[in-house]
Amino acid sequence: MTTIGVEEEYMLVHPVTGLPVPYAEKVRKAVGLDRLTGGQEVQDELLQSQVEVGTPVCHSLDEVGGHLLRLRHALASAAETHGCRIAAAGTPALRDTLHTVPVTDHARYRAMAAQAPQLVAEQLVNGMHVHVGVPSRDAGVQVLNRLRLWLPTLTAMAANSPLWDGRDTGFASWRTVVFSRWTVAGLPPVFEDIDDYDQRVQRLVDCGLVADKGQLYWLARLSERYPTVEVRCTDVQLLADDAVMLAGVVRALVQTALAEASAGAPVPDCAPELLQASLWHAARYGLSGSLIDPGGAARRAGDVLGELFRHTAAALEESGDTREVSALVHRLLRRGTGADRQRAAFAAGGPLAAVDLVVRESSP
């Protein structure tokens, strides 16, 4: 069975003010997992109010869900001992605009702050990254070429960042907009093969346009650390269950792309300007209106998700994920995205009500 792993980023927020607090180092140390895992499961992030967790390599969605619940519980307990809470939202509802959150004291992060100080200051965004194993890097490129048309749909499904500076941005995924401002970001281009991928990436590094390959902020890319395709377009999710759903969908998309490439199916085509606009539209509306399907047609969001399910049906069945993913997708359509739920809390009680919702649902 195709392997899978998930990384989640969380904000640390003050329980009363709801503002991000720079307690990442002491919270990470208090988790107590380092001595058991070599520090791999809980790591620092760019800003000192953020922490990242990563599951081990998993073979089933049950494994993914179990690890995410365990890690969320450990991190929430450690945060509470230091007077803060974890918040699994793509952006904080509130932030201190007079005092920026300090950058984590790593050479790479200091270099990023020197390169783009305002972007780093506003990088209070939390994503979820899904790693799916591929048999080779060349196969990974073929997956990227076929997966990219579904990235707007995944972005809409995962939308969980409607608030910024105490206001409703009007976007379901404001994180997508914030992240799009980096040098190399957004939708990955089409590559001929792995040689083309490596040469074009190396040219970006050689020109100094990115400091290293970790600064390739495409919404899907080849991992430099693992033999995986890494899908990065999704906001971190309020609930671990929703993260499991997205992980199952992403794995099914990768498996479907591998099967198409093996069968010699042509790479689907879409005009780059249409695909880019489709991503913006997905970030703006989430699942609350229409989506642009991979064929370039505007349709009801539920119909596009139905097409996604049909597209991945064989892969979901092969992995034994059909029932679980189907149930969770139906729940998503019924209850709405994290953005919808945050927006409802905000409308009822303001930004602190939204913070309370996020904090309550982030911890198992």
Instruction: Give tens-digit pLDDT for 54-75.
Output: 999 999 999 999 999 999 999 9
Q: How many C-alpha atoms does 146 have within 13 Å on its Cβ side? A: 24
Is CATH 3.30.420.10 what the domain over 4-362 is classified as, yes or no?
Answer: no
Q: What is the pLDDT of residue 1?
A: 75
1-5, 24-28, 35-39, 200-204: lowest mean pLDDT where?
A: 35-39
Mean pLDDT of the region 165-185? 96
Q: What is the pLDDT of residue 40?
A: 72
Mean pLDDT of the region 274-297? 96
pLDDT over 50 at 263, yes or no: yes
Instruction: Enumerate the domain spans of the chain.
Output: 4-362
Q: What is the pLDDT of residue 252?
A: 98
pLDDT band, residue 35 (cuts 50/70/90):
very low
pLDDT band, residue 36 (cuts 50/70/90):
very low
Q: Is the pTM of this model over 0.85?
A: yes
pLDDT over 50 at 235, yes or no: yes
User: Among residues of the chain, what percentage have pLDDT more than 70?
Assistant: 98
